Amino acid sequence: MAPWRRCIYLLLLCLSQALPAAPKQESGAQQALKKAQGVIRQLTDEKRALETEKSALQEQVNKLEGIAKQVEPLQGELQRHKAGADSLRSANQALESQLSGEREQVQGLHRKLQEIVATAKLIQNDNGLLVAAVREREQWIAQCSGKNRQLLETNQALLEQYQNKGVWDSLAELEPVTGIAKVDTQNAVESYQFKLEDLQATR
């Protein structure tokens, strides 16, 4: 039994024993007894309320302890996730740096490609001019070859004409009176001269 309860019981016992010896004080003793009983009831109610509150608080403590036990592994997992996030953040920064370097490299390659394309266009234009010049040169060479061939044919014909002259043709050229043979010879020379002029190579 609690000490305070013992004190109250002793007080009540003393009061109950004092009642027959002092009948005149029964009213005061009864009042004191009632007050003591009221105090006991009040203390009992307060004790019950405190015990109820204690039980509620203990229940809350138990719940909080259970939550804490559940949170402990979650804290470790949270730390792991945080470390993973930090690692991913560092990797992302490294990738951004690498991407920036590759972007600059691509831009440099693009500039070089533009320069190469411009140079290729110039070379293509020069090549076109060279091809045109070569074609013109080939045409000129072909024309020269044709004219040279015609010159050879003309010279060959002239030689054959003089080689095939007979005695009468030679005597006719020497005929001093009419001069017909001389005129024919001059006409032939002029005709061959015109052919040679036409066959001169154009510069």
> What is the pLDDT averaged over residues 82-95?
85
User: CA–CA distance from 81 to each of 86, 87, 93, 151, 195 (Å)?
Assistant: 9, 10, 18, 100, 103
CA gyration radius, the chain: 71
Task: Give 12-31 pLDDT, tens digit per residue.
Answer: 665 555 555 445 555 677 88
113 in a structural domain: yes
174 in a structural domain: no
Structure tokens at 115: 């320069």
User: How many Å apart are CA 97 and CA 94, to the nearest integer?
Assistant: 5
194 in a structural domain: no
User: How many Å apart are CA 166 and CA 135, to the nearest integer?
Assistant: 49
104 in a structural domain: yes
Q: Which residues contact 151 (CB under 8 A, 6 or more apart)?
A: 196, 199
How many domains are there within the chain? 1
200 in a structural domain: no
29 in a structural domain: yes
Confidence (pLDDT) at 101: 86
Task: Give 101-153 pLDDT, tens digit per residue.
Answer: 888 888 888 888 888 888 888 888 877 888 888 888 888 888 777 777 777 77
pTM: predicted TM-score of the whole model, two decimal places? 0.33
183 in a structural domain: no
Q: Which residues contact 87 (CB under 8 A, 6 or more apart)?
A: none
Q: Which residues contact 173 (CB under 8 A, 6 or more apart)?
A: 181, 182, 185
> What is the pLDDT averaged over residues 47-52?
91
172 in a structural domain: no
Range of the domain at 91: 3-164
